[in-house]
Chains A and B, each alone.
Chain A
């Protein structure tokens, strides 16, 4: 399998994740879509690193995975906080910033 097959697989997963982000109403569901998208990007990074025979892309993937975990922890903390304030996690009802 060439590089192209891996890139196309990652593109399809990225698109599915985007679909989840756009259509989900539950904030946690949106976060799951974002995880899928970040995951697809990691596949791209590793595939490019493997086919160019360099370890640097894999080092970058380690950083990307760590930042994703920090993002998920913060995102879910914000969801819990929003739930405390508004008693809901539906994105449609979270309109505090609306003038």
Chain B
């Protein structure tokens, strides 16, 4: 019962803030709504017993990405001297495409017999995740380190001051 209430309130928050992200006229408000949507996703992760992922979500997404986007807005909008309003185009076509995609996916989901009961998880989930990252998935983990380094170097290179 408590889970149902929590799920529906999180669903309302998530869908509402996601709609605000794509419909808000002010780009800065969009980013703040995105922060709310990402925090709501962390709540969904908690509901799915993934505490570690909820923490990662808050740190990396809600903390990291929102900060970077705000920086990008400040850099690109202030110099232009325009207000940070934004417009959308082809709203009807976009709505049709999105609704069709949602209908397609929901149709496919409802046709399948899906699990309704949760299987028991390993008792110490965070420990299990850490162990499997450093044993079975150690090669992807190392590759991820290389990717992060490449992204960092690339971002620094692109954003360097003009000579």
Contact = CB atoms under 8 A, between A and B. Distances in A.
Interface of A: 1-9, 11-20, 22-26, 28-29, 31-33, 35-36, 39, 42-43, 46-47, 49-56, 58-59, 61-63, 65-74, 76-81, 83-84, 87-89, 92
Interface of B: 3-4, 7, 11, 14-15, 18-19, 21-22, 27, 30-31, 34, 37-38, 41, 44-45, 48-50, 52-53, 56-57, 60-61, 64-65, 68-69, 71-73, 75-76, 79-80, 86-91, 93-95, 97-99, 101-102, 105-106, 109-110, 114-122, 125, 128-129, 132-133, 137, 140-141, 144, 147-148, 150-152, 154-155, 158-159, 162
A28 B76 contact: yes
A32 B34 contact: yes
Contact of A16 (B22, B45, B110, B158): B22
Contacts of B68: 72-73, 76
Main secondary structure of the interface of B (DSSP, over half): helix
A15 B107 CA distance: 14
Main secondary structure of the interface of A (DSSP, over half): helix
Contacts of A31: 69
Contacts of B18: 12-13, 16-17, 36
Given A39-B38, A88-B80, A23 B19 contact: no
Closest 5 CB pairs of A and B: A53-B119, A20-B22, A2-B116, A70-B151, A15-B102
Contacts of A49: 48, 50
Contact of B86 (A14, A26, A63, A66): A26
Nearest to A92: B89
A46 B133 CA distance: 16
Given A2-B115, A58-B129, A81 B31 contact: no
